[in-house]
Amino acid sequence: MIDSLSASSQSFLTGISQINQTLDTAQEQLTTGLKINNVSDDPDQISELLATRADLTQTQQVTTNLDQVNTEVNTAQSTLQSAESLVEQAQTLGAQGASDMDSASTRQDLANQLGSVLQGLVSDANTTVEGRYIFSGDSDQTAPYSIDLTQQNPVSAYQGSAATRQIQGADGSLITVSLTAQQIFDSADSSQNVFTSISNLRQALLNNDSAGVSSALADVETSGTYINQQLAFYGNVQDQLSAATTYAQNYTTQLQTQLSGLQDADETQAITQMTEASTNLQAAMISRSQMPRQTLFDFLA
Identity of the amino acid at 139: S
Single-letter residue type at 159:
Q
Asked if the structure places residue 219 within a domain, the reply is yes
**What is the domain count for the chain?**
2
Do β-strands 166-168 and 174-176 pair in parallel, antiparallel, or remain unpaired?
antiparallel
Other Cβ atoms within 10 Å of 211 Cβ, number: 9
Range with the lowest mean pLDDT among 25-34, 102-111, 222-231?
Answer: 25-34
Q: What is the reported pLDDT for 61?
A: 94
- For residues 27 and 174, state if they share a domain: no
- The pTM is what? 0.72
Given this model, what pLDDT does residue 2 score?
45
94 and 125 share a domain? Answer: yes
pLDDT, one tens digit per residue, over 154-168 is 999 999 999 999 999
Exposure string over 124-140, b if 16+ CB within 10 A, otherwise e: bbbbebeeebbbbbebb
* Lowest pLDDT segment from 38-42, 63-67, 193-197: 38-42
Q: Are residues 279 and 252 in the same domain?
A: no
pLDDT-derived band at 1, boundaries 50, 70, 90: very low
Q: Are residues 271 and 129 in the same domain?
A: no
Domain, as residue range, for 123: 53-258
Residue 48 has a pLDDT of 83
Kindly state whether residues 160 and 31 are assigned to the same domain. no
> CATH no. for residue 215?
1.20.1330.10
41 falls within a domain: no
- pLDDT at res. 20: 60
Structure confidence at residue 127 (pLDDT): 97
- Virtual torsion, Cα 240, 246, 248, 250, nearest 10 deg: -150
Short-list 187, 267, 174, CA closest to 219: 187
Q: Are residues 198 and 281 in the same domain?
A: no
In a domain, 234, yes or no: yes
For residue 176, list its beta bridge partners. Answer: 166
Same domain for 105 and 87, yes or no, is: yes
Q: Is residue 82 in some structural domain? A: yes
Whether the pLDDT of residue 65 is over 90: the answer is yes
Q: Do residues 81 and 129 share a domain? A: yes
Q: Does residue 254 share a domain with residue 197?
A: yes
For residues 154 and 210, state if they share a domain: yes
Quick check: is 48 in a domain?
no
Better-scored residue on pLDDT, 263 or 90: 90
Specify the amino acid at residue 35. K
> Is 300 inside a domain boundary?
no
Percentage of the chain modeled with pLDDT above 70: 71
Q: Is the pLDDT of residue 53 over 90?
A: no
> Of the candidates 188, 144, 189, which has an alpha carbon nearest to the alpha carbon of residue 162?
144
- Does 116 share its domain with 156? yes
Segment among 39-53, 85-99, 178-192, 269-283 with least mean pLDDT: 269-283
Q: Based on the fold, state whether residues 59 and 196 are members of the same structural domain.
A: yes
Higher pLDDT, 5 or 141: 141
Q: Is residue 85 part of a domain?
A: yes
Q: How high does pLDDT run on average in the chain? A: 84
Domain membership flag for residue 2? no
